[in-house]
Amino acid sequence: MSEIWYDDKEDVLGIQVANGKYWKSVEVSGNVVVDLSHDGKIIGVEIFQAKRHLKKDAPLVVAQASNRPKQ
Which residues are paired to 54 by β-bridges?
none
The model carries a pTM of 0.74
Q: Summarize pLDDT for 5-25 with one digit per residue, the tens.
A: 889 899 999 999 999 999 999
Q: Which tops the pLDDT comparison, 70 or 47?
A: 47
Whether 67 shows a pLDDT value over 70: the answer reads no
